[in-house]
Amino acid sequence: MLNYIARRLINMVVLLVVVSFVGFFIIQLPPGSILDVQLQRFRQMSGDISREQVRALEERYGVNDPFMTKYWKWISRSVQGDFGTSFETDQSVGDRIWGRLGFSVSLSTFALLFTWLVSIPIGVYSATHRYTVPDYIITFIQFVGLAIPGFLLALVLLIIATRLFNHQVGRLFSPEFIDAPWSFARVVDMAKHVWIAVLVLAMGATAGLTRIMRANLLDVLNMQYVQTARAKGLDEVVVIWKHAVRNAIQPLVMALGTLLPALIVGETLVAQVLSLPTIGPMYLSALRSQDMYLAGTILVILSALLLIGNLIGDLLLAWVDPRVRLD
Amino acid sequence: MTVHPSAASIASTDDVICVEDLKVSFYTDLGIVRALNGVSFNIPRGKVLGVVGESGCGKSITGLSIMQLVHGAGRTEGGRILFREFADRDPVDILTFGKNSSEMRAIRGNNISMIFQEPMSSLNPCYSVGNQIEEAILLHQTDDKLEAARRAIEILTKVGMPNPDRIAKSYPHELSGGMRQRAMIAMALSCNPTLLIADEPTTALDVTTEANILDLMRGLQSEIGTSIMFITHNMGVVAQMCDEVAVMYLGRVVERATVDDIFYDPKHPYTIALLQSIPRLGRSKGRLASIEGTVPDPYSRVEGCAFHLRCPAKIDGVCDVTVPEEIVVDAAKGHTVRCHLYS
Amino acid sequence: MATDATQLPTSKAAATEDVGQIPQWQLMVRRFRRSKLSVSGLYVLIVLYVFMIFSDFLAPYDHNRLDSNYAWAPPSVIGFENGQLVTYKLKQTLDQVRFEWFYEPDLSAPLPIQFFVQGYEYRFLGIIPSRLHLFGVEEGYQINIIGADKDGKDVFSRLMKGSQVSLTLGFIGVIVSVIIGSIVGTASGYFAGAVDNFIQRLIELLRSFPDVPLFLALAAALPMGVPVEVRFFLITLIIALIGWTGLAREVRGKVMSYRASDYTAAAVAAGASHWHIITRHLIPNSLSHIIVVGTLAIPGAIGSETALSYLGLGILPPAVSWGVMLRDAQTIEAITSYPWMLIPVGVLIITVLSFYLLGDGVRDAVDPYA
Ligand SMILES: Nc1ncnc2c1ncn2[C@@H]1O[C@H](COP(=O)(O)OP(=O)(O)OP(=O)(O)O)[C@@H](O)[C@H]1O
Ligand SMILES: [Mg+2]
């Protein structure tokens, strides 16, 4: 087991190196750099800057370095925990990322919990009532949930919340709580602000997982061991929840590994609409403004999250299903 | 001459199960499948009844109907299934209980239990073997977990498991097919049922394992005195295991007799054809006789006797028009047949 | 007697043969038809694609035609006067308080709707040049059956033009990705050994990228100043590139199991070539699965295109796609004051929904137990 985890971790490091290389290559592809944007802004504000100044800046950010040098500078510093200085804000990349990432992860975890709590019972209901009117209705709602773009739903909920309930959503905290220390009241305040985001984020995933749960359970219900369980004299509720769901849930457990990272990046649009300080919009603006160090770092971190998520998914699966062996 | 056992006539004989005119249909995309078209038979207490017939004739559905386990598109559309737990009790009609009613659940696994054809998939892969056997014991027999665990190991020993303590802790995928079938038998017998329905319990196993399992079942049967409904394709197994035989064709019992009468004095042309298709050791040279034609499409309905399309002794104008009634050939031995040749 | 064990001669094979009298595909069609939701999805898609084919003919105006007299004009009022369909000239007034244009149809000034009029030039199906349009009004006025946007561009015309991108890009992307996935998966499963190893490493690497960020990074790396056709092509490639790995893995698994099966062995023994075995045995066996995966992937791909265009990384103005139109609908102002801007969003939702329903029905029909 420990052996297995160690091997997976080593493999993960190798993959991350390749990912960082390829990712960085793609990100620095477009011509120009953030420096051009920066210089232009500079010129507008304070008129001219001398050639020497420009050169000094170029030197500092290494914009004219060959690709390998840029990559090496970035990766060697990153490994030491120094993610460099963002072009755009002159702020340490590390500080900016961690704060947002923490928020992204907690938001997505809430969304994930919501997804699970909702999709398992609904999937079970839908499968055990196949081809009945409620099943059709649930199916239809699921597909509508998959089809509505998240940001649009966010926008609509935002309007409803502000118009009907006079409820301030968007952002994280009410003004009085922004700098307050953590307390119960602050958590409640945060919950009031992020519920829309959690709901919207969870919507697509919930719809998808409900479908999967329904399909798996239908599969499992055809299995002989479900009949065996019934033949023992177990109540149908026990047959379903103890014997069938336990077997149908495995793909959902595996999905856990991919879903969390997917939710973390899936919120980009939603976060923009709701002006939430998460990692998605930050990545997007870094890409847009050619802030390659920031964008590259975020990409690698997200990739690491994905790989760790997969590992956790596999470990959970082995825990849930005795047939799965880790080797 | 026709026999329609009424409740009164059952009271005189001691049958564990008496199925009367059972009808089950499946409503599928492709049409209605009339799986059982009026099945009647009885299982005497302490005896082994073999149920034989070609694939699709409704053997499994009959077994599942007794357990009220026909699910999905299947509907029971008529008939009675009278079950008598003890000789001195009045029979109850199982079909009057709801599928998931507490009465039915009290019978399932406790008074009537069932073993399925596929040992590979009939145990839940997520729970240990011991756990799955204990589940039945805890449900019907005792609330004491330690006691249940003790009994589970006891019954595993009884079915000849080599290392019952270890087996109880292992998961189904760690066992071979034969071991799994033993575990299933252990589970089925864990509550000392009055009736055991064994649906082709050895079809998926190799010949040596099959022989071992059959020995085991026969031994346990005489020891515990459980009645068995033994569903099989295999006439050899019938000869070895059964006291009485019911031959089924397309959702009906066409002949019902003691095992000796079936082998030495078969009446129905279908039974005769079935017996001719068995290879004999001494006669291995010649071609095997097989039954002409195939079973008709399950979605269509055959007029008259269902077998007349393939029957060598068909009487034109009779067999293809009216369904033959059940004829008593030998009342003493309970030999009945559904064929116009004997009316 | 136990060694004498025999099965009845006409057993399982006979029973399956009887059901097999109905061809497999007919069974699938029957099962598909049972799902009313999926069938309606199919019909809706047929209508949408017919509209797309005739989009230039149906659209009265070029999708970039500006008219400041019609900025934020609401959907035209249609009436029936003197035996013909008419709309009305608009009275444009400025709301002094909210500082918004305010429109009212001038019911005394009807504008007859003309049919089969000459308008902007386009190529029907990309080939036949034409100027014919289904309807229009007198030059100098506009008919906006579902309103106009902030520059007075006709939303309906944009919706029609946008369908040419939105209904095709994701679709083609999925087709390309399915083709890559099937070929690579088959090769990987069939040749095994070093080929398989290399392909599996490649897939593992691609799957180590979180897909949305990779997608965004690739899109951001696309050159900006290229014609819309080139961008269309490149975005299609990105969609295909990201989507194929999952299918390749599944196909590989299937191919490996078929490869081990008897009839493949028989074909090899009979001296069949690799090509023959792959095209005659392996691909047909995975085909139903490939079709199911493909159908289910289309709505996601359409969503990807719209999301990219919405973010300004996909199709860029002056070209138009539904994603570009989403940008105009994304403000609270648009939703509350100019709700017709949401009509394209509605059409997008219906499209994606129909594809999901279709895919679900296809899956159930092809593979009833999944
Ligand atoms: N779930 C179902 N849906 C539709 N038809 C069914 C279903 N289950 C059984 N049937 C039909 O009922 C008939 C009897 O089936 P049954 O399983 O009892 O046959 P069997 O005699 O046990 O055959 P085998 O020897 O193959 O096990 C068959 O014709 C079959 O087509
Ligand atoms: Mg059967």
For residues B305 and A65, give the distance between their C-alpha atoms in angstroms, rounded to a whole number.
Answer: 92
Q: Report yes or no on A178 lying in a domain.
A: yes
Q: Compare all CA atoms of chain B with the CA of A224 and give the residue at the minimum distance.
A: B122
For residues B66 and B108, give the distance between their C-alpha atoms in angstroms, rounded to a whole number.
Answer: 9
Nearest to C154 by CA among C62, C90, C51, C48: C62
Q: Please give the number of the atom of ligand 1 that sits closest to the Cα of C19.
A: 31
Nearest to A312 by CA among A267, A260, A237, A249: A260
CA distance A223 to chain B (A): 7
Q: Which domain CATH number covers A150?
A: 1.10.3720.10
As residues whose CB is below 5 A from the ion ligand 2, the structure lists B 60
Domain ranges of chain C: 59-148, 158-366
Q: Report yes or no on A229 lying in a domain.
A: yes
A22–chain C Cβ distance below 8 A for any pair? yes
CA distance C99 to chain A (A): 21
3-state DSSP assignment of residue B41: strand
Q: Compare all CA atoms of chain B with the CA of A225 and give the residue at the minimum distance.
A: B122
For residue A34, what pLDDT is reported?
63
Estimate to the nearest angstrom the gap between the alpha carbon of B96 and the chain centroid: 21
Mind listing the pLDDT tens digit of every residue in chain C (370 residues)?
333 333 333 333 333 334 445 677 777 888 888 888 889 999 999 999 999 999 999 998 888 888 888 888 888 888 888 888 888 888 878 777 777 777 888 888 888 888 898 888 888 887 889 889 898 888 888 888 888 888 888 999 999 999 998 999 988 999 999 999 988 988 888 887 888 889 988 988 888 888 788 888 888 888 877 888 888 888 899 888 888 888 888 888 888 877 777 767 777 777 777 777 777 777 777 787 888 888 888 988 888 888 888 888 888 888 899 988 888 877 777 777 888 888 888 899 899 999 988 988 888 787 654 4
Q: Report yes or no on A141 lying in a domain.
A: yes
Cβ neighbours for B184, distance < 8 A, ≥ 6 positions apart: A228, B115, B116, B119, B122, B123, B201
- From residue C262, alpha-carbon distances to B156, B209, C258 in Å are 39, 26, 8
Q: Is B250 in the pocket of ligand 1 (CB under 6 A)?
A: no
Number of domains in chain B: 1
Interface test with C, best of B51, B248, B278, B288 (most C CBs within 10 A): B278
For residues A266 and A263, give the distance between their C-alpha atoms in angstroms, rounded to a whole number.
Answer: 5
User: Separation of B252 CA from ligand 1 center, angstroms?
Assistant: 13
Type of residue numbered B207? V
Output the residue whose Cα is nearest ligand 1's atom 5.
Answer: B26
For residues C131 and C62, give the distance between their C-alpha atoms in angstroms, rounded to a whole number.
Answer: 11
How are beta strands C79-81 and B335-337 bridged, if at all?
unpaired
A170 torsion bin: left (phi>0), alpha (psi -120 to 50), beta (else):
left
Output the residue whose Cα is nearest ligand 1's atom 22.
Answer: B60
User: Separation of A231 CA from ligand 2 center, angstroms?
Assistant: 16
| CB count in 10 Å sphere of residue C226 | 13
Estimate to the nearest angstrom the gap between the alpha carbon of A2 and the chain centroid: 27
Q: Please give the number of the atom of ligand 1 that sits closest to the Cα of B53.
A: 21
Percent of chain B whose predicted confidence (pLDDT) is above 70: 91
Q: Report yes or no on B57 lying in a domain.
A: yes
CA distance B274 to chain A (A): 29
With contact defined as beta carbons under 8 Å apart, do C305 and C348 qualify? no
A34–chain C Cβ distance below 8 A for any pair? no
For residue B245, what pLDDT is reported?
94
CATH, domain range C158-366: 1.10.3720.10
Q: Please give the number of the atom of ligand 1 that sits closest to the Cα of B57.
A: 21
For residues B308 and B32, give the distance between their C-alpha atoms in angstroms, rounded to a whole number.
Answer: 22
Q: Which domain CATH number covers B330?
A: 3.40.50.300
Domain that holds residue A149: 103-279+313-320
Cβ neighbours for C282, distance < 8 A, ≥ 6 positions apart: C186, C189, C190, C255, C258, C259, C264
Q: Write down the residue that tokens 């479908």 correspond to.
A: A211
Residue A155 is nearest to which of C209, C223, C332, comparing CB atoms?
C332
Cα-Cα-Cα-Cα dihedral sign, residues C173, C174, C180, C184:
positive
DSSP B171: -
Confidence check: pLDDT of A265 > 80: no
Number of domains in chain A: 1
CA distance B139 to chain A (A): 8
Output the residue whose Cα is nearest ligand 1's atom 24.
Answer: B55
| pLDDT (mean) for B212-225 | 87
Residues found in chain B: 343
For residues B283 and B264, give the distance between their C-alpha atoms in angstroms, rounded to a whole number.
Answer: 18
Instruction: Locate C273 and state its tokens.
Output: 């070539």
Residue C7 with chain B: CB contacts under 8 Å:
233-234
Q: Report yes or no on A47 lying in a domain.
A: no
Report angle CA B148, B151, B153 to the nearest 5 degrees. 110
Domain that holds residue B241: 2-111+193-279+290-342
Q: What's the pTM?
A: 0.81
For residue C21, what pLDDT is reported?
55
| CB count in 10 Å sphere of residue B46 | 17
User: Separation of B297 CA from ligand 1 center, angstroms?
Assistant: 12
